[in-house]
Structure 1
Amino acid sequence: MHCIASQLVKNAYRPRIRVMLGSNTPQEGFSSTWTWAAVISLIGLVVSIGFTVYKLRKRRTAEKAERLRPDYNLLDEVAVVLDKLADMPAQKSDLGSLNELRTRVKQAERRSPDLRFGDIVARIDVYQKTVLPDCFGKKLSGKRTTLEELLALSRQQGAAITEIRVAIDAVQAEIDRRTK
């Protein structure tokens, strides 16, 4: 009886073993046309999901670019004002437009704290400390201020303008990187 039971077990598991080993005996299951249709449908689903994700990312990037465009243009305005100030020895009376732009850069810093607008504001503050005194020509002739002091302030102005431009370029490069 032991032999008959082992023979029955062996016969019962033989078709399953053949399926697992990849036997070419006919099987009951899915037809090959259904399998190909499922594969093609799956590929279509993956492609459509990928396309949707791509479009969503592109739309978010466009929205971010639209949101950051005024700040980018503001930094361009600051650069233009700095170009004008670099051509002359700046006095306090010449800083009106730069003070207004500084206020707007501070507002941009509040809108986008992850960008480094604070560096630009700090460098503008340093620049404002290097301005020449009003009527420096009269003060120079009156010997209240020495020529060396004025030249030192002028050099500091040039260095401060360069630092502001470097900070502006860094923020604009970061905006470009985020919006591409």
Structure 2
Amino acid sequence: MNIPNTYGHLPLAAEAAGAGHPVLTWAAVGVIVTAVGVCLVVLHRRRDTRSKRLTPGYDAATGALVVLDRLSAMTAIAGVTTELGELAGFISLLRVAEARSPEIPFGVIVATLDDYAASVFTANYATRLAADPSLLDSYLALARVQGVKLESARTAITTVQRRIEKLTGK
């Protein structure tokens, strides 16, 4: 007759699972923790490096956005509107950022700002309009185009800034 021994030695859970040496288990945990720590340091260092590289372009885009906000309240006239000179400075900074970070579409901002700068009124538009009132429709159309290009530039700047914020965690 086969009666089970209820008083006999039952194997420990660690022995049953095959883990014979707990020292090796703690060593494995230490290696895993060290590897995770190294990976986190490398990832944060890469993000910090990317952030330092993208910050000048982000700041130039912010400055251009501020100038565009001021320009939205007026008609841009070549030689008269001082904000156009500031905008030209930001365009050059954005070109540098485009060369430094080709994966970020700073070129789209530069193109839209160049389009906007090309749609400014000439300095003598008032005298020309006073001499020939039939030019009023063309100047109104140019003013509308100026507004559309201004909003297009704002949209491009906001899109690029959101992408930079996503990459850098700002």
State the superposition RMSD in angstroms: 1.8
Q: How does 1:2-151 map to 2 (within 5 A)?
A: 32=20, 35-93=21-79, 94=81, 95-143=84-132, 146-151=135-140
Partner in structure 1 of residue 5 of structure 2: none
> Aligned pair in 2 of structure 1 residues 31, 124: CA closer, same or farther (>3 Å)?
closer
The normalised TM-score by structure 2 is: 0.82
Deviation at 1:144, TM superposition (A): 6.8
Q: Distance in 1 between matches of 2:74 and 2:159?
A: 25
Deviations 1:87-126 (A, max 9, x none): 1110112222212211111111111111101111111121
Is the Cα–Cα contact under 8 Å of residues 78 and 121 in structure 2 kept in the other structure? yes
Deviation at 1:42, TM superposition (A): 0.3
Q: Distance in 1 between matches of 2:68 and 2:134?
A: 25
Q: Distance in 2 between matches of 1:169 and 1:142?
A: 41
Deviation at 1:63, TM superposition (A): 2.1
Partner in structure 1 of residue 141 of structure 2: 152
Q: Which runs of 5+ in 1 are unaligned?
A: 1-23, 25-29
The secondary structure found in structure 2 opposite 1:92 is: coil
Is the Cα–Cα contact under 8 Å of residues 139 and 145 in structure 1 kept in the other structure? no
Deviation at 1:162, TM superposition (A): 0.6
Q: Distance in 2 between matches of 1:50 and 1:74?
A: 36
Structure 1 residue 175 corresponds to structure 2 residue 161: no
The secondary structure found in structure 1 opposite 2:92 is: helix
The secondary structure found in structure 2 opposite 1:146 is: helix
Partner in structure 2 of residue 4 of structure 1: none
Deviation at 1:66, TM superposition (A): 2.0
Q: Which has the larger radius of gyration?
A: 1
Structure number with the higher helix fraction is: 1
